[in-house]
């Protein structure tokens, strides 16, 4: 037996995890259920994972809830997702009691007025929370976000030679939060799907075949363990 004890590796928790919550429809199809049933199950998983992230001390969690492209889905499915969003927003007062700060990123313009009011109420009600900052992407698209940022910069009269990466970052929806260290995508797909494409330049990725409604804290811990074996060089050696 060696006289030298192996030094235990301290787990490093990412500062910011982003998740693409994918696979709700396929989860429902496998069970011969309507797609809306998959979204209901996925919403339960979302709440469970958000609370677990807060419990383990994660600083930022960003989830992809509804993209700018999702409007192309069947009308009944979109209506069901929006009703789920309403239910969540009405129930989100519970997050305030758990010291979770809730933010929404994306273009709110096409959303129903009652949803926009509920979003505003949730942000105002949780703004002093000091636990997890939960960012929910609703009607969000990475290209749309960058396009809108450029428009704001141009309209402000900034000269082309004065445009910098920092200036663009300051005009994104995520201007006041750090870029994601780690992006998780379940469901067996291996693409970004227009999600945080500016912010993810140096993010680490973790893909899994598990469908989102089946995703548990155990899977999250497995992903974080894998993150701890990555060597983030940011373009260096």
> Which residues lie closer than 8 Å to 225 by C-beta, 6 or more apart?
11
Catalytic residue among 24, 48, 54, 70: 70
Describe the strand order of the beta sheet including 182-185 as a list of residue ranges.
101-105, 133-140, 60-67, 16-20, 182-185, 204-207
Strand partners, 62: 18, 135
Helix (H) or strand (E) holding 185: strand 182-185
Provide the sign of the torsion angle of the four alpha carbons 69, 23, 40, 173, taken in this order. negative
Active site residue 122: no
Active site residue 70: yes
Catalytic residue among 22, 24, 103, 122: 22
Catalytic residues: 22, 70
């Amino acid at each position: 037996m060696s006289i030298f004890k192996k030094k235990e590796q301290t787990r490093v928790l990412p500062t910011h995890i982003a998740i693409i919550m994918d696979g709700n429809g396929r989860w429902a199809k496998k069970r011969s259920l309507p797609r809306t049933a998959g979204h209901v199950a996925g919403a339960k998983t979302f709440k469970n994972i958000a609370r677990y992230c807060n419990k383990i001390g994660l600083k930022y969690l960003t989830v992809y809830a509804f993209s700018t492209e999702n409007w192309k889905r069947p009308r009944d499915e979109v209506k069901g997702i929006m009703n789920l969003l309403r239910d969540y927003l009405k129930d989100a007062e519970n997050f305030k009691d758990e010291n979770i700060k809730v933010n929404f990123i994306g273009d709110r313009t096409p959303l129903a007025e009652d949803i926009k009011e509920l979003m505003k109420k949730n942000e105002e009600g949780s703004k002093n929370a000091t636990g997890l900052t939960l960012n929910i992407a609703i009607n969000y698209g990475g290209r749309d976000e960058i396009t809108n940022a450029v428009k704001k910069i141009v309209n402000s009269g900034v000269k082309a030679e004065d445009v910098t990466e920092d200036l663009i970052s300051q005009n994104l929806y995520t201007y006041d939060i750090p870029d994601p260290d780690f992006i998780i995508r379940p469901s067996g797909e291996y693409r970004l799907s227009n999600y945080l494409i500016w912010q993810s330049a140096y993010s680490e990725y973790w893909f899994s075949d598990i469908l989102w409604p089946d995703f548990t804290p155990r899977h999250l811990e497995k992903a974080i363990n894998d993150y701890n074996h990555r060597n983030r060089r940011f373009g260096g050696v």
